[in-house]
Amino acid sequence: MSLLVKGGTVVGPTGTQVADVLVDGEKIVALFDPEYRQVVQADEVIDATGKYVIPGGIDAHTHMELPFGGTAASDTFETGTRAAAWGGTTTIIDFAVQRTGEVVQDGLAAWHAKADGNCHIDYAFHMILGGVDADALKAMDQLVVDEGITSFKLFMAYPGVFYSDDGQILRAMQTARENGAMIMMHAENGIAIDVLVQQALARGEMDPIYHGITRPAALETEATSRAIALAEVAKDCPLYIVHLSASGALEAVAAARDEGRNVFAETCPQYLYLTLEDQLGAPGFEGAKWVCSTPLRTKHEPHQRDLWKGLRSNDLAIVSTDHCPFCFKDQKDLGVGDFSKIPNGIGGVEHRVDLVYQGVVDGKISLERWVETISTTPARMFGLYPRKGVIQPGADGDLVVYDPNGTTRISAETHHMNMDYSAYEGFEIAGHVDTVISRGAVIVADGNYHGQKGHGKYLPRGLSSYLV
């Protein structure tokens, strides 16, 4: 089966060109100048005139079916990857989980069982290490070599659940430095946060906004700086800060990068658009919809401005979603009367491509940078390049035809994620995902879904392209 995407403007990290893209089977086989006079035959032709053709989006941070706070993320691998496809994402990297006392390989096997045969798009795994000990350190080596899992997430937050102390973090970093893996860090000082939470509850401060107030930006900055210092001690272990939300944390990352360190970071759409006051501080219990960690930051400080600047300067490399949805009814409302019991997470896997494109429309990032942050850099960062993240011969036929003249209104009434509200309800995007192609198969077109469960394949990954 061959497919020709004709007449569109192909956008990559280095620029744009009007070109026809030929896919044969699952692979891109050629790009043609539109003036090429030879007849190019294909079984199916898609007219992309006046539209952008970009590599399929890669969301490098999702949590499908993640157990949390007595419940579990409401999107399964089936519903979540289908929603991702609707929004122009053709690959996700989810997190397999090992908790304290569990065997790392058993955690990985459990996540393979959840995903296998259920995904609409391709997928890979990072590995959460919730219990760093001698066996877990050995497992890191084995997963890199045998499983194609080359990134491991640690937590400086959530004592008693996922928390690792500085000694455990250092040992994991030393192991990663030897085997070439990336350490991903949830950088918040969880020990201090727990004190602030208990003090707030004792004062009767129960509303959702206190979730943000008890997780101040200073404790994200401190933890980020500490993680960077530990990585330096571990002979410049590759370090990737997840869901960065605070200006001070970004300054710490930028300073390390200015020194040439192997330090990288992502942010998420919620930190680019939503705020502590307007969302977490919504009347009554409504703010629970926006409880996530790291939390939304105050609009009275320049966090959002600085994050957009970080995306322009590459001190922030990637926009991921940290997609971890919970329904408002029967999940978020577990925390009525006690903000500390609200499940942490926001759903957004369907909207990332659109929300970051709005930054292009608003003049905050370039068209090329849009493609870098949503596709090319995630592929390079996490060992999927050049199979993913680029439109060139030999790459997978993952393409999105994006209409800059279309519009997208985000609403729970129209989204495809398995959640009963939208964190971005009413947002109007000056652009629209027109057609989505995964490994040569058209899965979204003409406002209809054509994909199927089981199409998505597991992707063993190599090492990061960015390491020195």
**Domain match, 79 and 17 both:** no
- Say if CB 9 and CB 18 are below 8 A apart: yes
Specify whether 61 is located in the same domain as 45.
Answer: no
Q: How confident is the model at residue 449 (pLDDT cuts 50, 70, 90)?
A: very high
Give the residue-averaged pLDDT of 445-453: 98
In a domain, 208, yes or no: yes
Q: Please say whether the beta carbons of 90 and 402 come within 8 A.
A: no
45 and 61 both lie in a single domain: no
Asked whether residue 128 is assigned to any structural domain, the reply reads: yes
Residues 429 and 307 in one domain: no
Is the pLDDT at 277 greater than 70? The verdict is yes
Residues 160 and 197 both lie in one domain: yes
pTM: 0.98
Which two tokens mark 357? 């494109």
Domain membership of residue 455 (yes or no) is no
CATH of the domain at 130: 3.20.20.140
Please report, in angstroms and rounded to a whole number, the separation of the first and last CA atoms in the chain. 41
Query: Which residue(s) pair with 185 in the sheet?
Result: 154, 241
Q: Let me know if residue 374 belongs to a domain.
A: yes
**Is 243 in the same domain as 141?**
yes
**Residue 219: CA atoms inside 13 Å, Cβ hemisphere, count?**
21
Is the predicted pLDDT of residue 38 greater than 90, yes or no? no
Cα 26 to Cα 395: distance, rounded to the nearest angstrom: 9
- Is there a single domain that holds both residue 83 and residue 232? yes
Give pLDDT, residue 468. 63
Give residue 216's pLDDT.
Answer: 98
**Separation between Cα atoms, residue 322 and residue 72, nearest integer Å:** 14
Say whether both 105 and 89 belong to one domain.
Answer: yes
Assess whether pLDDT exceeds 90 at residue 39. Answer: no
pLDDT tens across 229-258, in order? 999 999 999 999 999 999 999 999 999 999
In a domain, 468, yes or no: no
Q: Are residues 107 and 6 located together in one domain of the fold?
A: no
Q: Are residues 46 and 173 in the same domain?
A: no
- Assess if residue 416 is contained within a domain: no
Question: Is 414 a domain residue?
Answer: no
63 plus 46 within the same structural domain: no
Provide mean pLDDT across the span 449-465.
98
Average pLDDT over residues 433-453: 98
Domain that holds residue 275: 57-381
Token pair listed for 216: 């101040």
Number of domains comprising the chain: 2
Same domain, 194 and 325: yes
Q: What is the pLDDT of residues 133-148, one digit of tens each?
A: 999 999 999 999 999 9
Residue among 93, 21, 35 nearest 64 (CA):
93
Which CATH number characterizes residue 21's domain?
Answer: 2.30.40.10
Residue 133 lies in a domain: yes
For the beta carbon of residue 221, count every other beta carbon within 10 angstroms.
Answer: 21
